Amino acid sequence: MRIDGKGLIDRGTRLGFTFDGHRYEGHPGDTLASALLANDVRLVGRSFKYHRPRGILTAGSEEPNALVTLHDGAHREPNARATVTELFDGLAARSQNRFPSLDWDLLAVNDLLSPFLGAGFYYKTFMWPRAFWEKLYEPAIRRAAGLGALSGQPDPDRHETAFAHCDLLVIGAGPAGLMAALTAGRAGADVILADEDLRPGGRLLSETLEIDGGPGVDWADTAVEELEALPNVRFMPRTAVTGAYDHGTYGALERLPRGPKRPVDCFWRIHARAAVLAAGALERPVGFADNDRPGVMMAGAVRGYLNRYGAAAGKAFVVFGNNDDAHRTALDLADAGLHVAAVIDSRHEARLSGPFDVHAGAQVIGTRGGRALEAVVIRHPNGRVESIAADCLAMSGGWNPSVHLTCHMGARPVWQEDIAAFVPPPGAVPGLIPAGAAAGVFSTHGCLASGAKAAREALEVLGITAAHAPLPEAEDAPYAIRPLWLVEGKGRAWLDFQNDVTAKDVKQAAQENFRSVEHMKRYTTQGMATDQGKNSNVAALAILADATGRTIPETGTTTFRPPYVPVPIAAMGAGGRGRGFAPERLTTSHAASLERGAPMIEAGLWFRPSWFPRGGETHWRQSCDREVRHVREAVGVTDVSTLGKIDIQGPDAATLLDFVYTNTFSTLKPGRVRYGLMLREDGFVMDDGTTARLGEQHYVMTTTTAAAGQVMRHLDFVTQVLKPGLDVSFTSVTEHWAQFAVAGPKARELLSGLLDTDLSDEAWPFMSCGEVRLSGIAARLFRISFSGETGFEIAVPARYGDSLFRLLVARAESLGGGAYGMEALNVLRIEKGFLTHAELHGRTTAFDLGMEGLMSRKKDFVGRTMAARPGLVDPERERLVGLKPIGPVKSLTSGAFLFEPEAEATRENAEGYTTSVAFSPTLGHFLALGFLKNGPERLGEKVRLVDHLRGYETLCEVIHPVAFDRDGGRARG
Amino acid sequence: MGDAVLLDRPDPEAGEAAWDGYLHLRDNPAGVTRDLWHHEAGCGAWLVVTRNTVTHAVEGAELAEAAAREGQA
Amino acid sequence: MADLIAKTPCAGLLPFENGVATLWEPAPVPMTAIAPYRGRAEALSEALRAAHGLDWPGPGETSGEGAARLIWFDRAHGLLMGVAPAPALAEHAALTDQSDAWALVRLEGEGAAEVLARLTPLDLRESEFPVGRTARSLLGHMQGSITRLEPRVYQLMVFRSMAGTLVHELTTAMEQVAARG
């Protein structure tokens, strides 16, 4: 119920929301959880395994029980924690993991089966009979498994990632964090202050503690006002720092309230020269029978709901704890006029006075109630058992400093006996200094002092001196606690509320010899749910320690890993869907190609046209075959800009080329072009291309489209590392030049009149190059051919690319030809036995490709030594051949294997494979390129092509890889 | 050591073992190693980075060109 | 003879403006990559000063504030922008035309740094990246060149072919920063 006169909510405004279809009201400042409690909704979910009724346990992101599904339709978000969901008007939430309803859940029958479903049950059941696994057990388990469900529709929300830099990152804006930020901010350091919550104050928001004689929250608000006025400080609310990584890098998830065009979250990568971890501490439960009933909550959360949200979690309260801090809940409740039936403190020496019964040395041994708490059963020191009527039990087993980030790089926390808790190991993350409750300092004054000191220490390392300012006045009560992990007795004491792990499960694990804490975790699944053990780790390992006769430090903790809170994959991958998945590289002819209806294919990041359909064509082969005929019979135009082009200049340019290519380029005359083969140092082919010599010390190298980056990297390596003395420089000019191939018997006719040069065979012999002018523009012309026809490539500065492409295509069409795309380009080169990375796939050598003649014997070059290994020049290696079909099936596929006609198609009998396949309109049948053992010696032989993947086979004849125009005369015409 | 061994390209006649080591064999220390990094999305420099594989601390970085010249001097 | 029409890399895509910043494409200028030959750094510097009044920039530096600028472009190159290179330079350095190789835009406004924070890991704080500083870094997933021309004016360059992606990423970031209110 809602209490008057308490809370930081805006009672003047009402917000309507629904939970499981029921309508309720709340206020700005509420979370879904606080609004539910204010409306007396106690039952919010069902546990994972046993479907036990669950209520709200905490008031923070560590919440294990109140996991709900938010929103409808495509925006649906499962497993949202109601305790950190900001209430807004129209919020629609639904409970999870129950059928048909929260009140009446059929799978609660699992609870009756609990003796069979204890720790490690799935290692012992569902084993037999084997056949039942696939058909019965697995589908059943899948249906029962999981919490919440995705919408199944594409995510309509926007997400973001961003980078930030600072001198000091302060993690947490409670008293310690605020003091750290003030100290550093006032000293002029660049500070980022991040807090999970939407407003500053941390624990101050939930307590009635005072600072400088006024409410703690007021001090927090004033502090942030001062910080936000400083230009060197950035306050990031709603931002949880999720992980500590190498070299001062931190990940953080910022969640944003919904708005038009606004991302719902932003994943930050923050680089901080130093950081203060002021992440506070989390309260831990006590284990006792039936401690999971709705209405059993953390003591700090009960008073938090009262103080921050004006929501009373019940009408009759019992407080149970082992420390003084829990007393605050009883006092705050009583001050607000609420009925506190009793305070149970397990310590005999506990002292507390107030308008309630105090039972020192007593323990809670059980609870009563159906789907909600009705009574608390206690055992007095003298053994007497008593039942106390209550609808809310506020429990506290003490506080765990939130050490997590300090352990993200492999360190383990250190046990501190006097506070019965783990604290950060010193120096575990370079530059990260814990402060306040995260360091095991629990009083308000202690936190303020600790925060200021941590900031000063962090800044000193950076060479910045921060002033010692006087601290605000605040309480400095000592933290008194006596450990109590488990109340012994009958019944199941729950540790992990999400995965339904009990104290008995942990003891059973120890009994079955899963004594290591890492084994106990996996065997019982304790700590493996979405709260990552925040509510159960320490108790579980304490019980394990006890069961195995060790101390807590000896037992140790499991590994801490990021993220501290769940991070949606959509946030980390923000912007990476659809067009944003990768940069799109478009050629200058892209728009013109689209206008002509060309479908695009992706070649790496580039988009290239596959074919150019003409009216009446309904199948791609019609277009492709026509384009091939255009090139062989008239003239074709295609955009070849995507090939890498590297401009190389300098006195040692030729020396560099002689070293990276197998053949010799120092002998190439200016004005000439030569094909070059480039190896990796291990002797396998890296890439091929043509390199043109434009001047004495000026070359332009081409690479295949896909290998451009790799070749640049290679040239960088050679010139920086292997031959740093060379006087040569190189620059990529792939993008500066738009380059088009004009190929076919009418190529000269097309280009004449466009260029200021005589295009005869004498002026421009095959494999020549030079500078020309086109309409007054400085251009480059290369007489080279990938089609095998008379061919030129014309390059103009890219600003003219679109215009030139349209012009060339119009001219080609007027000559009975036209544009051609990647499919036709591929057919043409296969007919000629020219190679692409289908054949240069990284495991072929020059020898395999029949190019051993290109390996100079007069010079060293990259790959020379290793290429000479006997295994790489063995004639029995699979070597380049062509293939054409014979027999009843007339088509061929690539990626198929080759066998002797009578041999069984097994792995041992495979003698080769196909790499490229095309239907040749020029020859009227299919062609393939591939590799075959001792291939060049077997021309005319029959082999059987078997495509296991497609279930397909045919007989082939081994032919020379150049199936058309064997001597290459057409290109030289 | 780490990939920084690639700075010392063996003589073409150095023999199989030298080339096999150069291309295929690396120490894998739990401790200090010398990596080769390429600043591909930046300035294109190759770097020799001295790094601790256990603590991830970067103990030094130099241009590979400088290291190479020193080695070849 | 036919006349060829020139197009800029971002033709039809810009300008884009909202409350946070303005993104626009300046008119194209000559751009030349300059790489000094071995032992010619001094001579090149002198020739640059004589011909263009510019100094050879060290890593991360730029020279010139008017129409002609020389920006550090990578380990081996400076990029001369705004003016064609004087012939005298060719004796001391490799010159390579890059005028059409890059999509070049300007992002300016109060929110420009906030927008760029979405796309580059570069530390753009004034103390680390003052006016006149340049860097090669990532813009989204693209290699780029980022130069701070004025306190709230940035010059951004990526490969010409990626102009569409650059505009898309920047305008999306501008919208999303503006939407935070």
**Which of A190, A736, A799 is closest, CB to CB, to C8?**
A799
Partners of A585 in the beta sheet? A606
Per residue in A302-358, pLDDT (tens digit) is 999 999 999 999 999 999 999 999 999 999 999 999 999 999 999 999 999 999 999
Q: For residues A409 and B54, give the distance between their C-alpha atoms in angstroms, rounded to a whole number.
A: 10
Topology classification of domain C16-27+100-179: Gyrase A; domain 2 (3.30.1360)
Q: Where along chain C do the CATH 3.30.1360.120 domains lie? A: 16-27+100-179
CA-based nearest distance C14→chain B, Å: 26
- What whole-number distance in Å separates Cα of residue A242 and Cα of residue A560? 12
- What residues contact residue C72 under an 8 Å CB cut-off, 6+ apart? C57, C58, C59, C60, C61, C62, C78, C134
- From chain B, the residues in CB contact with C138 under 8 A are 41
Minimal C-alpha gap between B20 and chain C (Å)? 31
Measured in residues, chain A has a length of: 973
Given a contact cutoff of 8 angstroms between Cβ atoms, the answer to whether C2 and A779 are in contact is no
| CATH class entry, domain C31-97 | alpha beta
A720 to chain B, minimum CA–CA distance in Å? 5
Alpha-carbon distance C143 to nearest alpha carbon in chain B (angstroms): 5
What's A768's DSSP letter?
B
Q: β-pairing, A296-298 with A392-396?
A: parallel
Taking only residues 6 to 25 of chain B, the set having a beta carbon closer than 8 angstroms to any beta carbon of chain A reads: 6-7, 9-10, 12, 16, 19, 22-23
**Residue pair C9/A761 in contact by the 8 Å Cβ criterion:** no
Distance (Å) from the alpha carbon of A798 to chain C's nearest alpha carbon:
6
Sequence-distant (6+) residues with CB within 8 A of A418 are none
Q: Please tell me the pTM assigned to this model.
A: 0.94
CA distance B6 to chain C (A): 20
Q: For B12, which of A246, A247, A864 is closest by C-beta distance?
A: A864
Reported CATH class of domain A585-642+736-830? alpha beta
Angstrom distance (rounded) from CA A892 to CA C47: 63
- Domain A875-973 fold: Elongation Factor Tu (Ef-tu); domain 3 (2.40.30)
Superfamily of domain A159-282+401-461: FAD/NAD(P)-binding domain (3.50.50.60)
Q: How far is CA A925 from the centre of its chain?
A: 48
Closest residue in B to C122 (Cα) is: B42
ipTM for the whole complex: 0.98
CATH 2.40.30.110 residue ranges of chain A are 875-973
- In the DSSP assignment, the letter for residue A134 is I
Task: Find the chain B residues whose C-beta atoms sit closer than 8 A to any C-beta of C.
Answer: 40-45
Note whether A849 and A839 are within 8 A (CB): yes
Q: For position A127, what pLDDT does the model report?
A: 73
- Residues of C in Cβ contact (< 8 Å) with B41: 136-138, 143
Tell me the β-bridge partners of A729.
Answer: A649
Strand A191-194, strand A233-236: pairing: parallel
Cβ contacts of A720 on chain B, cutoff 8 Å: 45-46, 63-65, 68
pLDDT for B71: 86
Q: What is the pLDDT of residue A575?
A: 87
pLDDT in tens, C56-74: 999 999 999 888 999 999 9
Distance in Å, alpha carbon of C19 to nearest chain A alpha carbon: 14
- B8, B13, B16, B46: best to mutate for the A interface, most A CBs within 10 A: B46
CB A777 within 8 Å of CB A800: yes
Report the phi/psi class of residue A440: left, alpha or beta, with left for phi > 0 and alpha for psi in -120 to 50: left
Chain A touching partners, 3 or more CB pairs below 8 A: B, C
- CA–CA min distance C77, chain B (Å): 9
Chain C residues in contact with B40 by the CB 8 A cut-off are: 143
CB distance A724–B45 less than 8 Å?
Answer: no
Query: Using CB atoms, which residue from A430, A720, A860 is nearest to B46?
Result: A720
Phi-psi domain of A146 (left: phi exceeds 0; alpha: psi -120 through 50; beta: other): left
Element (H, E) at A112: helix A109-112
Question: CB within 8 A of C114, min separation 6: which ones?
Answer: C20, C177
pLDDT in tens, A731-741: 999 999 999 99
Relative orientation angle of helices A708-717 and A653-660, to the nearest 10 degrees: 110
Report which of A738, A691, A695 is spatially closest to residue A715, judged by C-alpha positions. Answer: A691
Q: Which chain C residues touch B37 with a CB distance below 8 Å? A: none
Bridge-based pairing state of the strands A494-496 and A501-502: antiparallel
Q: Which amino acid is it at A347? A: R
> Residue B1's pLDDT is what?
52
Under a CB-based contact definition with an 8 Å cutoff, are residues A50 and A106 in contact? no
First to last CA, chain B: 21
* CATH 3.10.20.440 boundaries in chain A: 15-110
Q: Start-end ranges of CATH 3.30.70.1400 in chain A?
A: 644-732
Q: In B, which residues are within 8 Å of A716 by CB distance?
A: 38, 44-46
- The pLDDT, as a whole number, for residue A477 is 94
B42 touches chain A (CB under 8 A): no
In the prediction, which pLDDT does A469 show?
87
Contact C136 B45 (CB under 8 A): no
What's the confidence (pLDDT) of residue C1?
Answer: 56
Residues from chain A that touch B23, judged by Cβ atoms under 8 A, are: 681-682, 866
CB C125 to CB A165 under 8 A? yes
State whether A247 and B44 contact (CB < 8 Å). Answer: no
Which segments in chain A show pLDDT lower than 50? none
CB contact at 8 A, A497 and A65: yes
Neighboring chains of C (3 or more beta-carbon pairs < 8 A):
A, B
In this complex, the chains that touch B, judged by 3 or more CB pairs closer than 8 A, are: A, C
Which segments of A718-862 does DSSP mark as H helices, in order?
747-751, 801-814, 822-831
Interface test with A, best of B3, B5, B8, B23 (most A CBs within 10 A): B23
Q: pLDDT (tens digit, 9 = 90+) per residue, A525-579?
A: 999 999 999 999 999 999 999 999 999 999 999 999 999 999 999 999 998 988 8
Interatomic CA distance for residues A542 and A539, integer angstroms: 5
What is the per-residue pLDDT for B2?
Answer: 67
Residue A826 Ramachandran class (φ > 0 left, ψ -120 to 50 alpha, else beta): alpha
Compute the average pLDDT of residues B50-70. Answer: 94
E strand intervals along A290-437: 296-298, 316-321, 339-345, 357-360, 363-368, 375-379, 385-389, 392-396, 399-401, 414-416, 421-423, 432-434
Q: Mutating which of B56, B62, B70 best tests the A interface, going by the most A Cβ atoms within 10 A?
A: B56
Contact A720 B6 (CB under 8 A): no
- CATH fold for domain B3-72: Folate-binding fold (3.30.2270)
CATH superfamily of A644-732: Aminomethyltransferase beta-barrel domains (3.30.70.1400)
As annotated, the residues of chain A forming the CATH 3.30.1360.120 domain(s) are: 585-642+736-830
Q: A15-110 adopts what CATH topology?
A: Ubiquitin-like (UB roll) (3.10.20)
Strands (E), A497-578: 501-502
Paired residues of A388 in beta bridges: A376
Residues linked to residue A310 through DSSP beta bridges, in sequence order = none
Residues A42, A33 contacting (CB under 8 angstroms): no
| Chain B contact probe: residue of A659, A710, A711, A721 with most B CBs at under 10 A | A721
Least Cα separation, residue B66 to chain C (angstroms)? 13
CB atoms within 10 A of CB A669: 8
Overall size of chain B counted in residues: 73
| Per-residue confidence (pLDDT) for residue A69, from 0 to 100 | 95
d(CA C66, CA A136): 77
